[in-house]
């Protein structure tokens, strides 16, 4: 070994140590925590409206969420449910075009063309009061029902809005796309995951470096996306496995005509994260799966899920953080305390929230 080589070797060693140290410091710094605008700035404007997305962009969310469902003419629209009746006037405009599902009338997006869907007024989420038969807002403190003008938008329209705002503001705000109910679309003869990924590819989302996450509640489909669709389309994007409770019927199969929900129990048992890490980059659990509802203000009970996910190198992005009346669990003093418990006492990597401005400001305040 000659004289010049020796110090150079140590210099390299020193630099690489510094790089790995700074990477570690970064990984632990609060600025790494991400805020996902859940259906846009949905605490202020109707969920999934382009207006709610523009507001979330202005609020500096790190990511803005899209839920994607398919129309009769194979277009992708941004809607939380694969039916239209919770957030539009479809039942007034097309009163007969429903299906009966588990004793309830539902107007499915897949039964309407994009043109028909575009003719509807979109609004805040509502239910029908069983006594008065009138529409009743699910969140009464939010934007009033059927005021101003909002429309269902396509996935392309939303991508163009976010990419356009990224250009005009110089920001780089990401997409967080949920593929909704692949099992349902498959029953209708459609491959929603493939169509979604093809559109994303066309708009430049191809690699793990691109600012995008794909999320899905269906573990078989998430695996298929990773194992089959990514190689087929020559892309590779970051994937989040969402975790549901079995009785939510997020994924369903039919036995003798009766719906049987997919059993999610295995995802909350030891060893599950090891299985998920093979095909996903992270998990999206429901808040009580991380902080038990048995918790009190004096005694928080954390489940083992976060530790097990982090041990497997998985990100943890729980849902949904809302400040509305009745939405703060009893163990938290207020919305900010709830954020503090999850982001800093437990240590999740990001959160889905209807109030991205408050979460962005909270994280910023923690840094100073
Ligand atoms: Ca979603």
299 has catalytic annotation: no
- How far apart CA 92 and CA 101 sit, in angstroms, is 19
* Rounded distance from Cα 20 to ligand 1 centre (Å): 35
* Rounded distance from Cα 21 to ligand 1 centre (Å): 35
- How far apart CA 28 and CA 116 sit, in angstroms, is 49
272's CB contacts (< 8 A; 6+ apart) are: 266, 308
Tens digits of per-residue pLDDT, 29-49?
A: 446 999 999 999 999 999 999
Residue 22, SS3?
Answer: helix
CA 184 distance to own-chain centroid: 19
80 has catalytic annotation: yes
HSE value, Cβ hemisphere, 13 Å, CA-based, for 331: 18
- How far apart CA 129 and CA 124 sit, in angstroms, is 15
* Rounded distance from Cα 222 to ligand 1 centre (Å): 15
Write down the pLDDT at residue 144.
Answer: 98
Q: Which of 48, 57, 80, 226 is catalytic?
A: 80
Q: Which of 38, 48, 57, 82 is catalytic?
A: 38
* Rounded distance from Cα 80 to ligand 1 centre (Å): 6
* Residue 67 parent element (H or E): strand 63-70
HSE value, Cβ hemisphere, 13 Å, CA-based, for 246: 10
* Rounded distance from Cα 53 to ligand 1 centre (Å): 14
**Would you give the DSSP letter of residue 286?**
B
User: Is residue 331 within 8 Å of 288, Cβ to Cβ?
Assistant: no
* Rounded distance from Cα 19 to ligand 1 centre (Å): 36
Tens digits of per-residue pLDDT, 97-132?
A: 999 988 899 999 999 999 999 999 999 999 999 999
The whole-model pTM stands at 0.91
User: Is residue 92 within 8 Å of 123, Cβ to Cβ?
Assistant: no
* pLDDT digits (tens), the chain, 368 positions: 344 444 444 444 444 444 444 444 444 444 699 999 999 999 999 999 999 999 999 999 999 999 999 999 999 999 999 999 999 999 999 999 999 988 899 999 999 999 999 999 999 999 999 999 999 999 999 999 999 999 999 999 999 999 999 999 999 999 999 999 999 999 999 999 999 999 999 999 999 999 999 999 999 999 999 999 999 999 999 999 999 999 999 999 999 988 999 999 999 999 999 999 999 999 999 999 999 999 999 999 999 999 999 999 999 999 999 999 999 999 999 999 999 999 999 999 999 999 999 999 999 999 77
Write down the pLDDT at residue 14.
Answer: 45
* Rounded distance from Cα 178 to ligand 1 centre (Å): 6
- How far apart CA 18 and CA 16 sit, in angstroms, is 5
Q: For residue 52, what are its two tokens?
A: 């709610």
Residue 189: exposure state from Cβ atoms within 10 A (0-12, 13-18, ≥19): exposed
Residue with tokens 């529409």: 135
Write down the pLDDT at residue 31.
Answer: 63
∠ CA 315-316-322, nearest 5°, is 145
Strand pairing category for 174-179 and 63-70: parallel
* Rounded distance from Cα 66 to ligand 1 centre (Å): 7
* Rounded distance from Cα 245 to ligand 1 centre (Å): 15
* Rounded distance from Cα 181 to ligand 1 centre (Å): 11
All domains of the chain in start order, with CATH:
34-367 (3.20.20.190)
* Rounded distance from Cα 132 to ligand 1 centre (Å): 31
* Rounded distance from Cα 331 to ligand 1 centre (Å): 25
Strand pairing category for 212-216 and 174-179: parallel
């Amino acid at each position: 070994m000659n004289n010049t080589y020796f110090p150079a070797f140590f210099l390299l060693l020193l630099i690489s140590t510094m790089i790995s140290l700074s990477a570690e410091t970064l990984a632990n710094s609060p600025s790494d925590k991400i805020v996902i605008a859940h259906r846009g700035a949905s605490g202020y404007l109707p969920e999934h409206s382009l207006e709610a997305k523009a507001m979330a962009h202005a609020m500096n969310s790190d990511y803005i969420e899209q839920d994607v469902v398919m129309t009769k003419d194979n277009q992708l629209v941004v809607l939380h449910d694969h039916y239209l009746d919770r957030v539009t006037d479809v039942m007034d405009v097309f009163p007969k075009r429903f299906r009966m599902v588990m004793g309830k009338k539902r107007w499915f997006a897949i039964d309407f063309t994009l043109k028909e869907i575009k003719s509807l007024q979109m609004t805040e989420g509502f239910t029908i009061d069983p006594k008065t038969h009138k529409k009743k807002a699910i969140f009464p403190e939010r934007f009033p029902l059927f005021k101003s003008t909002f429309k269902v938008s396509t996935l392309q329209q939303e991508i163009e809005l976010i990419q356009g705002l990224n250009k005009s503001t110089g920001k780089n705000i990401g997409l967080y796309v949920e593929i909704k109910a692949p099992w349902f679309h498959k029953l209708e003869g459609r491959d929603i995951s493939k169509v979604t990924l093809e559109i994303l590819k066309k708009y430049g989302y191809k690699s793990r470096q691109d600012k995008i996450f794909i999320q899905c509640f269906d573990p078989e489909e998430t695996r298929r996306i990773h194992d089959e669709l990514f190689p087929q389309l020559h892309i590779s994007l970051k994937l989040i496995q969402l975790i549901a409770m079995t009785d939510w019927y997020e994924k369903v199969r039919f036995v003798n005509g009766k719906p049987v929900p997919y059993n999610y129990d295995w995802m909350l048992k030891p060893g599950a994260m090891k299985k998920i890490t093979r095909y996903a980059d992270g998990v999206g659990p429901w808040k009580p799966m991380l902080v038990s509802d048995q918790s009190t203000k004096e005694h928080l009970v954390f489940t083992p899920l976060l530790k097990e996910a982090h041990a497997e190198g998985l990100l943890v992005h729980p849902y949904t953080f809302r400040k509305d009346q009745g939405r703060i669990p009893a163990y938290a003093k207020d919305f900010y305390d709830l954020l503090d418990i999850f982001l800093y006492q437990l240590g999740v990597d990001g959160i889905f929230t209807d109030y991205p401005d408050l979460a962005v400001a909270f994280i910023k305040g923690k840094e100073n």
